[in-house]
Chains A and B, each alone.
Chain A
Amino acid sequence: MTSEIKKKSYSLSTKLLHWLIAGHMIGLIVSGWWIVDLSFYSSWYYYAPSLHKSFGAVVFLIGLLLLLNKFRKRPPTLAGHTNLEKLASKFAHFLLFASVLTIPISGYIFTTFTGQNVSIFNTFNIPAVFVTSEKIRDLAIEFHIYASYGIAGVVFVHAGGALKHHFLDKDRTLRRMLW
């Protein structure tokens, strides 16, 4: 009985991490889009970049924990999914995990390019350890922009898929991540 219930939904830690990372990713993508157009006289011009970096470090950490959970905890099974849906969701999950780990690293590379530390919530510093070339820096900047907007699209597909299963197929795909 208990094992059957367990199989019906994700573990509590996975659920928490999932919704945390969802909020962080949306916040980071939107704030990144908004930060680059801030005026010099906006008070956010001063505070927002440092918050964006701090939450970027957090999202990287949550991503690692979630990845750990993926291997540590067996996911609940659902019989109703077609092979194509399974393949598509696996591919989307791969992209989401890859981006949540690589986009913060690309930001770290170009923000530490001239040797400055990254201050996390003004409490501790991540030191600049890479010495890289201007080519790699420019590549990191391009990646940071395009991967972020690209992954925003994947987030839509991922959420759209969950909603499709919930409202059209009326299965537990979304509910097993909720309760």
Chain B
Amino acid sequence: MNTILKTTALGVSLLLTMPVLAQAESYTIDPSHSFVKFETSHLGVSKLSGRFNNIAGKLRYDPAVGEESQSVEVSIDTSSLDTNWADRDKHLRSGDFFNVAKFSNATFKSTKFNGDASGGTLTGILTFLGVSKNIEFPITKIGEGKDPWGGYRVGFEGIYKMTRKDFGMDFNLGPAAELVNVTLQIEAIKDK
């Protein structure tokens, strides 16, 4: 029942946003040049960072049309997390952290953008560990232009400061590690 409601809601919201989105140029995220990284403190003495190796998504970007023409949808395969230490990755994939057996993906769908061609604030829904939350974070455009192979590319960077336990990830790693900086470096190629 819940799933039907959600699917219907999604369908309706897609229909409502369709006319706006149709005006903007659509892009597909280039996974080979996109990086989703996470970083937190280790005991307050140093930083620990990792990344998700598999991501996918679409974005719409057309600053000439206006703020409402910009949106992004990203899906992150959380089981592809990588901190370059197999034992830690194993623990991170477990139920104590990312619980990848149950939730293999985290998704972000933007609902609003305030800003201009150089960047701004992105608002949207992050679904992670089965919890959907409205979040906002700043993004900046890194650059855009033709690539040497006939395509057109644009790149953005956004940093979201996540409080882990808001999404139910509450394994105690000390007070210094409750906040995780999630950095999205996204490069996308214009659809033909």
Contacts and interface: CB of A to CB of B under 8 A. Distances in A.
A114 B172 contact: no
Interface majority SS (helix, strand, loop, mixed), chain A:
loop
Nearest to B79: A134
B47 to A, nearest CB: 17
B171 interface: yes
B161 to A, nearest CB: 21
B174 A116 contact: no
Contacts of A137: 86
A113 interface: yes
B90 A40 contact: no
Contacts of A141: 90
Interface size class of A (residues with CB under 8 A): 10 to 19
Contacts of B80: 134
A112 interface: yes
A111 interface: yes
A114 B90 contact: no
A114 B171 contact: no
B171 A40 contact: yes
Nearest to B95: A36
B149 interface: no
The 5 closest A-B pairs by CB, nearest first: A113-B86, A114-B86, A40-B173, A114-B84, A111-B86
A39 B85 contact: no
Nearest to B82: A114
Nearest to A41: B172
Most buried by B among A36, A49, A114: A114
B174 A114 contact: no
Contacts of A49: 87
Given A113-B86, A114-B84, A134-B79, 13 more contacts: A36-B94, A39-B172, A40-B171, A40-B173, A40-B174, A41-B172, A111-B86, A113-B89, A114-B82, A114-B85, A114-B86, A116-B86, A134-B80
Given A110-B90, A141-B90, A116 B85 contact: yes
A111 B87 CA distance: 6
A116 B89 CA distance: 12
Contacts of B82: 114
A49 B85 CA distance: 13
A153 B38 CA distance: 41
Contacts of A40: 171-174
Nearest to B172: A40
Interface string A121-139: 0000000000000100100
A73 to B, nearest CB: 39
Interface string B156-179: 000000000000000111100000
